[in-house]
A and B are shown apart, each in its own frame.
Chain A
Amino acid sequence: MIVELGHFALILALMVAAVQAVLPLWGAQTRNGALMGLAAPAAVAQFLLVAAAFGVLTWAFVVSDFSLAVVTANSHTLKPMLYKISGVWGNHEGSLLLWVLILALFGASAAWFGQNLPAALKARVIAVQGMIGAAFLAFLIFTSNPFWRLQVPPLDGQDLNPLLQDPGLAFHPPFLYLGYVGLSMAFSFAVAALIEGRVDAAWARWVRPWTLAAWIFLTIGIALGSWWAYYELGWGGFWFWDPVENASFMPWLLAAALLHSAIVVEKRESLKSWTILLAIMAFGFSLIGTFIVRSGVITSVHSFASDPERGVFILAILAFFTGGALVLYAARAGAMEAKGLFAMVSRESALVANNILLAVAAFVVFIGTIWPLVAEITSGRSISVGEPFFNAAFTPFFVALAVILPPGAMLAWKRGDLPRALRSLAPVAVLAVALGGLAFALQTGRSALGPVGAMLGAWVVFGALRDLWARTGRSGDRLGRLLRLPRADWGKATAHCGLGVVVFAVAAMNAWAVEDIRVAQLGETFPLGRYEVTLKEVREEPGPNYTSTTAEMVVTRGGAQVAVLHPEKRVYPVQAMPTTEAAIDYGFLRDLYLVIGDPQQGGGWAVRGYVKPFANWLWGGALLMALGGLLSLTDRRYRVAAGARRVPAGVPAE
C-alpha cells in the first residue's frame, strides 16, 4: 500500500510539473499575475510529491520489500543498513529518482529564495525548471519506474554490486547530482532571459550564485569519486578518463567557464550572449552525461543496465532542451548588446582567454569520449580512445590555462597593464622556477613531469597569493586591509590556490609514485621506497555479508614503526565477486598503500605496495577550490540581495 502511495505521488508530481511548465509561462506572456503566481506553489508541491516518492522507495529498501523489482535486484536482507539506504540510488531507477528529486529541489529553491526576482522572470525560470522536471518524470515513470512490482516476490534479493558497498556511494552520487542538476538553474535563467530578450548585471548577479553552488557540488562530487576509486580499486589510480568520469568533467569545465564569464556580465555588462550560450551548453553537457551513463551506447565501468529504449528517450530530452534553447538563442542573441567596451589587454580579455581554453578543453574531452561511437557509425571500425589520448590532447590546454592565470587575474578591468602585472609577478616566477629546480634536484629519475608540475603549481598558488596581497594597496595597514578584503577576493585566491595544488599533486602522483609487486612469505620483510614492510599474518574473518582475508602488515622506517596496516580481500558470496580493500596510511607528504592478493602455489601471498606522494594534496586542492567557491558565494553582494532594498534574502543552496 505504501508503495502504491509513492507511485501515486510520483504520477501526481508529473501532473504538477506539467502545470508548472505551461501556466506560469503563459501568464508571463500575457501579464497575468494569477497565472504567474502559480509557479512558486507548483514548484514546492512538485518537490514535496517527489520527496514523498523518494521517501517511500527508501522505506522499501530499508524494510527489504522484495515485491519491488528494484529492491530485489539491488538489495539483500544481510546488507548493512548504510548500504540499504545508499543502495536506493545505487541503481538506474533509484538514481534517476534522486536526480528528479534534486531537480525539484532546485525548482522549489527558486520559489523560496527568489522573492526579489521580477515576477515575470521568476515565473519563466520556474516554468522552464518545470519543463525539465516533467520530461524527466515522464522518463522515470514510463521507462524506468522504480515502483514496479514483482508478481512473485523472492525470499531474498540479489544484493548490491560489492564495489558499490562503500561509504563512497552514500556521498559521491548525491553531490554529483546536486552539481549536474544545479546547472539546470543556469539553463532556466538563460532560457528565461532569452524569452525576455534582456540580460543585464542584475540577471548575472542572480544566475551566478546558482552556477557557483552547482560548480561547488560538482567539484566535491568529482573529488569524492576520484578518492573512492583511489582507495577502492586496489592500485591507487585516481582518474581514468572513463566516459562517465568525462561526463561529469565536461559540465565541470563549462561551469567553471560560466562562473568566470558571468563575472564579466555582472561587472562590465559584456560577453552577454556568450554567457547565455555557456549556460545552455553547461546543462546540455549534463544531459549528455546522463545519456552516456544511462543509454549504454558507450561502454564504461559506471554503466547502468543498458537499454536502447531509455537511450532514445534521453536523446529526445537532450534534443528538445538543448536544441530548443539553441534555436531560441539564434533568434534572440542579437538583442544582447554589450555595454562595457574593453581593451585587448584587460581583465575581460583574460577571462575570454580563460573561457576559450576551458571550452576547448571540454571539447577535447567530448570528442575523445564520443569518437568510438562516431567511428563505429561512420566506418564500422571498433576503436577505443583512452588515457594516452586524453593525457596528450587535454593537458596542453590546461597547462596554458595555468600559465596565463596569475597575470590574467591581476590585470585591471577595461584596460590592463601587462608589463606591470608581469613585473609584480617576477618574484613569484623566480620562486616557481626555484621550487621546480629543487624538485628536479631531489628526484631520482629524469622525468620532467614532476619538476614542471611543481613549477606550474607554485606559479598558480603564489601568483594567487601575490594578487591578494596586491589588493591591499601600497602602504599603511596592509595586513588589516587584507583581512577586510571582500570574501569574493578571498574566494578567488583560495580557489586558484586549490587549482595550483591540484596541478602539482597530479604531476607528483604520476611522476613519483613507487610501486612494488611481489610474493611475500609470512614473516618476510621487503623494502618499499624508503620503508620496510613485514607481512606478519593473514587470517580469514567473517563480515556481515562477505568473508574477508585480512593481512597484518607492519611498516617501519629505519627500524622505527610507522604504521600497522590491515589490507583485505573480500568475497561477496551473493554476487560471487571479490573486492580488494586497500589499507592506507594517510600522510601529509605521502600515502602508504598496501594491498593483499591471492595465496601463491609455492607458498606466500601476492602483495602490492605503493608510496603515493602528495596524494592528500589532490583532494585537499579540490576542497580548497570548493571552499573558494563557498567564500565567493557568501560574498556580501550575494547576501544582500541584488538591487533590492527589501529583507535580505538568503543565498540559495548553501
Chain B
Amino acid sequence: MSGRAKAWALALALSAVPVFAVQPDEMLADPALEARAREISRSVRCPVCQGESIDDSNARISRDLRIIIRERLVAGDTDQQVLDFLVARYGEFVLFDPPKSGANLILWLAGPAVLLLGGGIAFAAFRRRGKVPEEGLTAEEQARLEEILKR
C-alpha cells in the first residue's frame, strides 16, 4: 500500500504544476499519424495515476509517454511496436487492453462461457419442468366468449 500511497503523493505533487492532458505542442502535423497516436494513448494507462489513460492524464510522465509514442510513430514503428516498446519499459501494467493470450483468455472467454452456461441451465430447467398443457377453450366456453364479444 505504501508504494501506492507514494505514487499518489507523487501524482499530486506533479499535478501541482499546471499541465493539461494532450498539449497542442505535442501534436504531430500529420493528421493520420496524430490520429494513430491518440488511438494508442487512449489505451495506455498512466503509470502513476489512479486508473486514467495517458490521453486524459495531467501527470508529467503521461506527457512524456505521449511524446515517446509520437517519436516512435514518426520513426516508422507500427502501433504494435510502439506498445511493445512501452511494455518493455513500463511493464504490462500500462496496457488497458490486456493481451488476449495465456491466462487472460479466461478474462475474455468468461462472459460467453457464462452466457452458454446460463442459457443451458435455463433450457434444462425448462425441459425438466415439462410442457404447458394445451389449454384451448371448451366448446361451451367458446360459445360464452362469443356471446360476450357480440355484446
Contact = CB atoms under 8 A, between A and B. Distances in A.
Given A363-B111, A387-B43, A517-B27, A299 B4 contact: yes
B45 interface: yes
B41 interface: no
A196 interface: no
5 contacts: A341-B129, A371-B104, A383-B98, A517-B24, A600-B25
Nearest to A357: B115
A113 interface: no
Interface stretch (A91-99, A235-243, A314-322, A448-456): A235-243
Interface of B: 1, 4-5, 12, 15-16, 18-25, 27, 42-43, 45, 49-53, 56, 58, 91-98, 103-104, 107-108, 110-111, 114-115, 118-119, 122, 126, 129-133
A150 interface: no
A485 interface: no
Contact of B115 (A235, A360, A576): A360
A577 B107 contact: no
Interface stretch (A41-49, A374-382, A496-504): A374-382
A237 B51 contact: no
B23 A606 contact: yes
Nearest to B21: A235
A385 interface: yes
Contacts of A363: 110-111, 114
Interface string A241-273: 011000000000000000000000000000000
A378 B103 contact: yes
Contact of B19 (A237, A367, A393, A598): A598
List the 8 shortest-distance A-B pairs measured between CB atoms, nearest first: A386-B96, A388-B97, A364-B111, A597-B20, A356-B118, A576-B16, A301-B50, A382-B93
A234 interface: yes
B6 to A, nearest CB: 12
Given A233-B56, A357-B115, A381-B92, 12 more contacts: A242-B51, A301-B50, A359-B118, A375-B104, A384-B51, A384-B98, A386-B45, A517-B24, A576-B16, A578-B58, A600-B24, A606-B20
A379 B107 CA distance: 14
Interface in A284-325: 296, 299-303, 306-308
A388 B98 CA distance: 9
Given A300-B50, A371-B107, A381-B92, A389 B118 contact: no
A90 interface: no
Contact of B107 (A300, A367, A382): A367
A112 interface: no
A343 B107 contact: no
A505 to B, nearest CB: 20
A301 B52 contact: yes
Q: Which of B1, B24, B92, B108 has the most CB of A within 10 A?
A: B24
A569 interface: yes
A578 B18 contact: yes
A300 B43 CA distance: 16
A352 interface: yes
Contacts of B108: 389, 393
